Structure 1
Amino acid sequence: MKRRSFLVAFTVGGLSLAFDHASGQSAPNPAKLRVALLPDENASTIIQNAAPLKAYLEHSLGKDIELVVTTDYSSMIEAMRFGRIEVAYFGPLSYVLAKSKAPEIEPFAVGVSKGSPTYKSVIIARADGPVKTLADIRGKMVGFGDFASTSSHLIPRALLARDGLIGDTDYKYVLLGAHDAVARAVQSGQVQAGGLSQEIFKSLVAKGSIDGDKLIILAESDPIPNYPITMQGYLAPEFKVSIRKAFLELNDKDILKTFRAEGFVATDDHAYDILRETAKLLDLDLAKFKG
């Protein structure tokens, strides 16, 4: 899949200009804080839902806030790497990839859902389709999200590998970009099975974006460490304290819906070692990822 290295920034007021490398800012205490949200669904929907977050952070931090949704996961990683954003809400694997390219970034908070800082991935298929079990995936086409997605690529591949099914050997697969695209592709029959976040799957069914009666869950994963909030290590220490405090003390339910979380607790880099280990088991060389 061809990857785009540019990124698109959305604000609540509308579309802003795309960043280039020269616009990257490395100020330790910038007047404007650029906060990136993971592009795991439609960008305009993400920004619309995150409007209360923007207002909360502007009030808590006393700064202008610009919400950013990049074109894909790799663009978000590169934006963090080159200082074009200061705070980012990464998926677990995309965080690991970003950390490998920019060791100075710091995870500091993780979402809690149902009392746990973890979530799950699922593999789905059409209820009336040819795939009823994981074994039926042999010889079929499977849809994943972005290469850097944890629950829509890494973990579903690991689930299939555990059943002796290896991508490009036992089944074909296509990268569709976002979780909602995977669900729609399975429902339409474009692919015979697909992997995505369990929480996003439930949300898409609840919103009517997909028909839950037409889809079945073939398997669900073990718990995965939840999405981390990260920030640039070069930010001023007192400013980092303020950012950390703003997220850890966040208790507004409407804002927390943006993160599919009930709240945030502190985290660190070691919580994501399980993703590095899983990638090794699948022989995925994260160092060669072209972000």
Structure 2
Amino acid sequence: MSHQRRLPTVTLTLIALTLTLGSCGSSSKAAEGEVPETLRVALLPDENASAVIKNNEPLQAYLEDELGVKVELVVTTDYSSMIEAMARGRLELGYFGPLSYVLAQEKSDIEPFAALQEVAGEEPTYQSVFIAGADSGIESLADVGGKTVAWGDPASTSSHLIPKAMLAEDADLSVDDGDYEEQHVGAHDAVALAVQNGNADAGGLSLPIYERMIEDGIIDPNKVVTVQESDPYYNYPWTMQASLPDEFKEKVRAAFLELEDESVLEPFEAAGFEPVTDADYDAVRELAPLLGVDLADFQ
């Protein structure tokens, strides 16, 4: 940790989808083109919400120092809630997965500006991983036929879209054709645990999250095996409302792109953040039709 600072009290905001039409957090929506009194920053519900908030307390303190505004961290109940909250202007900044960003961009005027860089000097990309129970008999994607597969959120890139596309493209397996059964268990960590506990034969999730769970002793590599890793895709983008003042948006970009504070980067397991544009996520848009996902009408 590069330095210590007193951390502010954190508000854990859980937003049900039915509540996103109302307020998100305690502050009201900022007027068009104004800097909000409280910057509402949404983090993906990829893992336990309270853990996500706790792990990102240094981010909250850092942004308050750099931007000069109060920061409220928000974790929504699911990806759809976050997409809708962004579309309704109830969030100013959002840390989306690639697919959830593409879905949100269909409904919102938002700008991606930075993505996590895992290794200094490399592209800001990441991979998905398809895993299976060690006793499932699954050694390749082709073996998934007739099995039960666990996914995370339906709007997750690395815990649904990418691994499902891997089954379709590499093994010609489709859930719509009855080639396997699927279940959505919400978060990435829940996928790995479902496989380890025998509640699913296989599953897909973010490779960095899976590797961290093994490193932390949550997943036993003797019980869960890696079947196949995906190609690299541009990493989770940080986004902001396009209506924010230009000067403030530049401060936000600089806060992330110049970030070197190890206490902030550690929860992301990142070397830093690199610039990204909307076009970097066209590869994800191209996967959606393969799985019958209508980006404009996704619910």
> TM-score, with normalisation over the residues of structure 2?
0.90
Matched, 1:112 2:117: yes
Matched, 1:269 2:278: yes
Q: How much has 1:127 moved relative to structure 2?
A: 1.3
Cα 1:154–1:12 change in 2 (3 A) is farther
**Counterparts of 2:187 and 2:20, CA distance in 1:** 24
Matched, 1:283 2:288: no
Partner of 1:5: none
The equivalent position to 1:137 in structure 2, one of 131, 144, 148, is 144
Deviations 1:212-236 (A, max 9, x none): 2211110110001100000001111
Q: How much has 1:240 moved relative to structure 2?
A: 0.6
1:120-269 equivalent positions in 2, closer than 5 A: 120-162=127-169, 163-169=171-177, 170-269=179-278
**Counterparts of 1:31 and 1:258, CA distance in 2:** 26
The question of whether the paired residues in 1 share the 8 Å contact of 2:149 and 2:201 is answered with yes
Q: Which runs of 5+ in 2 are unaligned?
A: 1-7
Identity within the alignment, %: 55
**Counterparts of 2:209 and 2:185, CA distance in 1:** 15
Q: Which runs of 5+ in 1 are unaligned?
A: 1-10
**Counterparts of 2:10 and 2:133, CA distance in 1:** 39
**Counterparts of 2:176 and 2:198, CA distance in 1:** 20
**Counterparts of 1:138 and 1:196, CA distance in 2:** 19
The question of whether the paired residues in 2 share the 8 Å contact of 1:12 and 1:48 is answered with no
SS at match of 1:124: strand
Q: In terms of mean alpha carbon deviation, does 89-98 or 127-136 score higher?
A: 127-136
**Counterparts of 1:87 and 1:120, CA distance in 2:** 24
The equivalent position to 1:47 in structure 2, one of 33, 53, 70, is 53
Deviations 1:233-285 (A, max 9, x none): 11111111111111111111221123232111111100000001011222222
Q: How much has 1:135 moved relative to structure 2?
A: 1.4
> TM-score, with normalisation over the residues of structure 1?
0.92
Cα 1:193–1:107 change in 2 (3 A) is same
Deviations 1:182-208 (A, max 9, x none): 000000110100000000000111112
SS at match of 1:261: coil
**Counterparts of 2:13 and 2:116, CA distance in 1:** 29
The question of whether the paired residues in 2 share the 8 Å contact of 1:37 and 1:88 is answered with yes
- Note the aligned Cα RMSD (angstroms): 1.5
Q: Which amino acid aligns with 2:230?
A: S
The question of whether the paired residues in 2 share the 8 Å contact of 1:134 and 1:218 is answered with yes
**Counterparts of 1:260 and 1:39, CA distance in 2:** 17
The equivalent position to 2:107 in structure 1, one of 91, 97, 101, is 101
Partner of 1:56: 62
**Counterparts of 2:286 and 2:131, CA distance in 1:** 25
- Number of residue equivalences: 279
**Counterparts of 2:218 and 2:230, CA distance in 1:** 23
**Counterparts of 1:289 and 1:172, CA distance in 2:** 21
Partner of 1:33: 39
**Counterparts of 2:22 and 2:290, CA distance in 1:** 38
Q: Which amino acid aligns with 1:65?
A: V
**Counterparts of 1:282 and 1:80, CA distance in 2:** 25
Matched, 1:81 2:87: yes
The question of whether the paired residues in 2 share the 8 Å contact of 1:142 and 1:173 is answered with yes
Deviations 1:68-108 (A, max 9, x none): 00000000001100011100000000000000111x10001
Q: In terms of mean alpha carbon deviation, does 113-122 or 22-31 score higher?
A: 22-31
Partner of 1:21: 21
Q: How much has 1:32 moved relative to structure 2?
A: 0.7
**Counterparts of 2:282 and 2:123, CA distance in 1:** 18
Q: How much has 1:17 moved relative to structure 2?
A: 7.9
